[in-house]
Amino acid sequence: METDTVIGGRTDAHRRPGARRDGRRLRRRFGAWCAGLLFAGTGAVVGCRAADVDGVTPVPQLLAFLPWLLVPTGAGLLLTLLARWWAGAVWGVALLGLLAWFTEPYGKESEPSGPPVAELRVLTSNVEFGRGTGALIDAVRREKPDLLFVQECEYACDAALRRELGAGYPHRAAVEGGGSEGSVILSRFPLTPTPGVPGTMGMPGAVADVRGHAVRLQLAHPMPPLPDQVGLWRAELGRLRDAAGEDDGTPTVLAGDFNASQDHAVFRRILDTGLYDAARLAGAARTATWPARTAPAFGVQIDHVLVSEEFAARRARFLDLADTDHRALVVDLTLHAGG
């Protein structure tokens, strides 16, 4: 015969419902706390995005992966529902809505109004301290770009490009350097070098004669937003913005590893000068270029080809190259007169 143990005048049968209620209450409280922490972290990043600022570490680093914040926000929303925290659920839905809004491509699209005068193909690639040089040379022979922007092209890389591609690309503008400091622009078209943009890593510039039409070229490779170098990252992107804003009516191509995505305010300021992201114009906005190991499934687009309003972009392709942590970007452009 089953009996209940009497403890303090109450049986176990009387204590169990209350204990279960207390357990549920604790689990709900814990779930609400976890959801609150997720929302607080995501909210700080989304708040900076809404305020059009990049904030301080770790916000600039997290902004690069803004669309992926949908995952912790969705998890937090699920926790609020399980915890029956309805105010938190409203908070989560609001964050999801803002993230969805900001995931949309930034800026307006434009179609040149003048007649087409030249077709050209542009390839940009960060070869990671020169390690991806061999794979890049093979890609150049396959893709046959007219303009080639190469970042982190140290001395051995520069020598290999001269030796292997010099006949097809007799014109160049370069900043020589070791490690990540070297950069080069190679061209089938005649080039007149320009001062470029000063930076920790080389950012050469030039003016190309594209079948009788002057086109301003500028390679981009600012410092990445490392935790102790966010100020330097912001300053060097600001210099690129100033260079892009020097509009003398010359069609412009600004290409390279920007170490920034459209979710960074300093990068959007460059677009605000009147440049357009060619990948977006070609229907490939937000296609990841870094890190190559996990792209395109996971990553961020920090390698860009930006063009002025005189250009139309017909196609953008992303190449997986061996021995580098960046994917190369190839875009086919049409230059129009009288943009």
Q: Identify the pLDDT of residue 69.
A: 95
Tell the residue number behind the tokens 């050469």, with chain if given.
204
Torsions phi, psi for 16 (to 5 deg): -60, -45
3-state secondary structure of 54: coil
Q: Identify the pLDDT of residue 20.
A: 74
Q: Identify the pLDDT of residue 15.
A: 55
Residue 100 makes CB contacts below 8 A (sequence gap 6+) with 70
Residue 42, amino acid: T
Distance (Å, whole) CA 64 – CA 75: 20
User: Residue 212: left if φ>0, alpha if ψ -120 to 50, beta else—which one?
Assistant: left
Q: Identify the pLDDT of residue 26.
A: 85
Q: Identify the pLDDT of residue 10.
A: 52
Q: Which of 308, 245, 260, 305 is nearest to 280 (CA)?
A: 305
Residue 54 makes CB contacts below 8 A (sequence gap 6+) with 48, 60, 63, 225, 230, 234, 264, 265, 266
Q: Identify the pLDDT of residue 160.
A: 98
Distance (Å, whole) CA 293 – CA 188: 31
3-state secondary structure of 269: helix
Residue 104, amino acid: E
In order along its 339 residues, the chain shows pLDDT tens digits of 445 555 445 555 455 766 777 777 888 888 889 999 999 999 999 999 999 999 999 999 999 999 999 999 999 999 999 999 999 999 999 999 999 999 988 877 778 888 999 999 999 999 999 999 999 999 999 999 999 999 999 999 999 999 999 999 999 999 999 999 999 999 999 999 999 999 999 999 999 999 999 999 999 999 999 999 999 999 999 999 999 998 788 999 999 999 999 999 999 999 999 999 999 999 999 999 999 999 999 999 999 999 999 999 999 999 999 999 999 999 999 999 974
Distance (Å, whole) CA 305 – CA 235: 20
Q: Which of 325, 332, 324, 272 is nearest to 305 (CA)?
A: 332
Residue 231 makes CB contacts below 8 A (sequence gap 6+) with none
* CATH classification number, 116-336, choose in 3.40.50.150, 3.90.76.10, 3.60.10.10, 3.40.50.300: 3.60.10.10
**Where do the domains of the chain lie?**
6-103, 116-336
Q: Which two tokens stand for residue 270?
A: 């460059």
Q: Identify the pLDDT of residue 159.
A: 98
Q: Which of 197, 191, 184, 201 is nearest to 133 (CA)?
A: 184
